[in-house]
Amino acid sequence: MLESVFSFPDLQELIFEYECYNGPNLPGLKPVYHANLKNLLCCVATLSYLTLPALECLAVVPYDGQENQDISWVDNVTALIHRSECRLTDLHILEDACTSRGNYSFKKLFALLAPTLVVFGLDPSSSPNTQEIIHSITRTESSAGSLPCLEYLKFSIHEYYIDRDPIDFDSFVDAFTTTLISLRDDDLAEKWHAPLLKQVSVICKNDTLIARLRAACLDSLSSRGLEVGYAREPWTGVRTYEWHTTWYDRTRR
C-alpha cells in the first residue's frame, strides 16, 4: 500500500491517514524514497519508512495501535530530517501524536528546524514536554530562541493542565505569556535579525482558561498587531485561516 501511494513521481501533496492501518503492527512496509513530495500528513509510525528530500510541510497524526503507544514523534521526525536532508517550514503535531510516555528531548530536533521552520503547531498540549517547548522558543537578550524563524504558532490547551493544581497551572500561563511577549518584542527581533510572531491560535474548551490567557497577554498583543485565533475543537475555526499550511485542511474533503 505505502509503495503504491508513493509510486507517482510528480506527487507533491499527500494525506495518508493512520486509519489506513489495521491492527497493532505495520506489516510488510518497505522503505520509500520520493524526490518531489512537498506536503505530507501521515501517522507517526509511517515516518520511519520514508525518505523525502523535497519535504517542506509535515503534519503528524497518531498511529492507532495499542502496542505502539511509546512511539516518539520527536525521534521519528528527527530521523526523517536527518535521513532526507529536507528543510521543513511547517510542522504540526496533531491530535494525540504526542502520546509517547517518554520524556524526550527536543534539542536535537529544534536544532534541525531552527534555520527554516516558520509554522509550528502542537495539538493537543497534553505532552509532558509542553512547557519545555514553550520555554525553549522564548526569545531573550542571550538567546534567539530554539525556533528563531517562527511566525505562526498554534497550541491546544488540553484538560491535562486544567485538572492540575493551581500552582502548576499558573506556571503554564506565565510561561505561555512570557514566550508570546518575547516573540512580539521589536528590540529582541532586531537584535537577533528575526521576524516577529504574526499569528497565534489557541484551541481550548475551557472558557476560564481562555479568559486568563486573554487577560495575561492575548488581548494586549492583539491590540498591538498580533493576529489571535480561538477555537474549541482542533478541527474547527483555526483551519479556515489563510495560512500557507491549509493544504491539509480536512474541511476541503
* Sign of the alpha-carbon dihedral angle for 164, 136, 89, 51: negative
pLDDT of residue 23: 46
Where do the structural domains in the chain lie, given as residue ranges? 2-252
Amino acid at 84: S
Q: What is the pLDDT of residues 133-189, one digit of tens each?
A: 899 999 999 999 999 999 999 887 766 656 665 656 788 899 999 999 999 999 999
Q: What is the pLDDT of residues 97-138, one digit of tens each?
A: 554 444 457 889 999 999 999 999 887 554 557 788 899 999
Amino acid at 248: Y
The pTM score is 0.84
Residue 69 has pLDDT above 60, yes or no: no
56 Cβ neighbours under 8 A, 6+ residues apart:
38, 39, 86, 87, 88, 89, 90
> Minimal CA–CA distance to 49: which of 22, 64, 29?
29
Confidence of residue 25 (pLDDT cuts 50, 70, 90): low
